[in-house]
Each structure stands twice: as structure tokens, then as C-alpha cells.
Amino acid sequence: MIVKKVTPLLAGLIFLFGVYIVLHGHLTPGGGFAGGAIIAGAFILLILAYGSSALNLRKEVAGSSNTESVALLMVCILAIMGLLFGAKVFFFNFLPKGTPGELLSAGFIPLYNIFIGIEVAGAILTIFLALVIFKEESSK
Amino acid sequence: MGFRGPGHPAAFANKLTQSNMELTISIILGFMIIGAIYAIHARDLLSAVVAMGIVGYGLVVCFLLLKAPDLAIVQIVVETITLVIMVAVVLDSTREELKISLDRRAIVQVIAGLIVFAGLFYFFTLAIENLDPLGIHTMRMSETYVNGAVEKTGSINLVTGVLFDFRAYDTLGEAVILYIAALGVLTLLRIKGKK
């Protein structure tokens, strides 16, 4: 009962904290990997609190695996854009650098961070959901 | 030390002197070793999982003391998630440890493992002969990273600057590894396809 009341309040905060970690990856400690794991943790907390029957897990696992695939594809597209613009180098940092220390700086590092964050969150969530679905279906 | 941006939360670690910090890390490492040994010998699998938690969270404190908050965040989140999954697995299956009997096949496997270990150890001894003596840093590559990272990448977090700009290939590889891990879990755990 207490868990079910507190979890929706906390999960949103944890999700926001993960987004903050991802967006400020080039300014403060953290980055795509840490933030993505935190975002996945928020969803895992929701699933643990409400049980696997409350959510449509099949739909969710399809959504999370699609999301991570698209995010990884976007990372590759970013890398190839470095080939097209500027120097002919894979992963060339082609965007303007800006002033170091501001939120919108460091070229394409924030973008890359965001896509890596989405990819990591999707991957961890997919693994967790696959395990939960396996347990549900094998216990039937 | 390398470049540290304004507002970098590493100031608290400077309060500890060098010898103090080494002592603290040694104590934490001792606890981690005790936890790992207990995890091997525990009869109850649930307490073994919790003892493995000591190792993981001790590692988090070590990362924080060694001024690596980036790693510490990842370690603490991943450790929590894996602990939850392991506890769920133990509660769902069995709490007893399986009995392992030594038959002929197990002995052959142990001997094969020892042969591989001896081969790897031979190459290990070859490799450490060519290393620099202890205490001398080989900073040929990292020196340029530490000195010119802010101008070249525009990111004041040096770790992100290295991971996402100089070593962007590494990061792509890590992301692909996670992707393939998720694919593998989805493939192994499908039930409908097997029938």
C-alpha cells in the first residue's frame, strides 16, 4: 500500500533526474550511460511496485526494443553526418563548439549523449521486461 | 591532476590526505574480499546475493574516493538493478545450493582449464617484462587528452569529452554490445517461438 502510493511520486523524480544527468553529461559527472540506467531504473521501479499484470508487458517490450534500435540507428547517422560535413572523419564533431560551460555547447556531444542515453535505457528495460515476461509465461 | 571544471564535485575528496585515502580504500577492499569469500561459501543463496552486494557497493565507495563520480553513478544504478534481478531469481527458483560431484568429465575440464591458465600465464610473464618499472606513468597518449580536451571538444567534463569525442568509436562499440545483449536475452527467452 505505501509502496503503491509513493512509487508514482518517486518514479517521476527519478526519471527527471536521469534526464538531467543525460542532458548535463558534458558539464557534470554522468552522461548517456549513467542517465540511461537511471531512466530504466524509474520504469523498473514502476513495474516492481505495480506488478506485471497491471501493464501490457508485450506491448511495452516491443516499444522499448524499437526505441533502442532507433536510438542506435540515430547514433550511426550522427557518425555518418561527420563524414558528410566538415572533415572526412567518422564521428567528426561538426557542430559549432560554443562557449565551454554552457548547456548548449560542445558540438554534437550532447546529441550523442541523448541518443546513447535512450539506447541504454531501452536496452536495460528490454532485458528486464524479457525476464519478467519469461517468468509470467512459464508459470502459467 | 588533470583539468577540473568549475563546480566539479570533487572538492570533498581533497580533505582526505593521500595516506588516509589509501588506508580507507584498503579497509573497504578488505570488506569486499570478506563479502566475496562469504558469497562463495554461503549455504543460503539469498545471503550469497546480498554478500555480493557488499562487493558492488564497496566498489562504488572506492570509485567516489578515487574521484571517479561518472563511474560511481553507473556502478550504483547497475548494481541495484542486478541485485533486484538476482534476488527475484533466487526467490523464484531455489535457495539451496546445488551439489556438485566430481566425475571423470569434471576432472578433464579442470585439467583443460589449468592448461589454458598456464598458457595465458606464460604470455603474461612475457608481457610484464616489457612494462615500465612500477611508479613511472606512461602518459604519452593521455597527456594530449588532459591538456587540450576543453579547446578541442568544448566539453568541460573531461570524461565525457574523451568518451564521446576522442573515443567515440569505443562508445559506439559499448552501445552495440548492450544492444546485442538485449537481442540475445530476447532471443533466448522467447517461449512462443519454441513451441
- Chain B residues within 8 A (CB-CB) of chain A? 5-9, 69-70, 72-74, 77-78, 80-81, 84-85, 88, 92, 150, 153-157, 159-161, 163-165, 168-169, 171-172, 174-176, 178-179, 181-182, 185-186, 189, 191
A91 closest CA partner among B168, B159, B176, B154? B168
Cβ-based burial of A131 (10 A; exposed 0-12, middle 13-18, buried ≥19): middle
Three-state secondary structure readout of chain B: CCCCCCCCCCHHHHHCCHHHHHHHHHHHHHHHHHHHHHHHHCCCHHHHHHHHHHHHHHHHHHHHHCCCHHHHHHHHHHHHHHHHHHHHHHHHCCCCCCCCCCCHHHHHHHHHHHHHHHHHHHHHHHHHHCCCCCCCCCCCCHHHHHHHHHHHHCCCCHHHHHHHHHCHHHHHHHHHHHHHHHHHHHHHCCCCCCC
Mind listing the pLDDT tens digit for each residue in B169-190?
A: 788 888 888 888 888 888 887 7
pLDDT tens digits for B13-68? 455 566 777 888 889 899 999 999 998 888 888 888 888 888 999 999 988 888 88
CB spacing of A130 vs B186 below 8 angstroms: yes
Q: What local confidence, expressed as pLDDT, does residue B16 receive?
A: 53
pLDDT of residue B120: 96
B11 versus B155: which is more confidently predicted? B155
Residue A28 C-alpha, separation from nearest chain B C-alpha, in angstroms: 6
Instruction: Using pLDDT thresholds of 50, 70 and 90, give the confidence band for residue B8.
Output: very low
Read off the pTM: 0.73
Band (B6; pLDDT cuts 50, 70, 90): very low
Contact of B51 with B35, CB cutoff 8 Å? yes
Instruction: Look at A128 and B81 and tell me if their CB atoms are within 8 Å.
Output: yes
pLDDT at res. B122: 94
> Mean pLDDT over residues B150-156, rounded?
69
The pLDDT assigned to B7 comes to 45
pLDDT for the residue numbered B15: 53
Quote the DSSP letter at residue A29.
Answer: S
Mean of the per-residue pLDDT values of chain B: 78
pLDDT of residue A92: 62
- In the three-class reduction of DSSP (H, G, I as helix; E, B as strand; rest coil), residue A25 is classed as coil
Domain boundaries along the sequence of chain B: 10-99, 101-131, 137-195
The whole-number pLDDT of residue A131 equals 80
Write out residues in chain A with pLDDT < 70, as ranges. 52-56, 86-107, 139-140
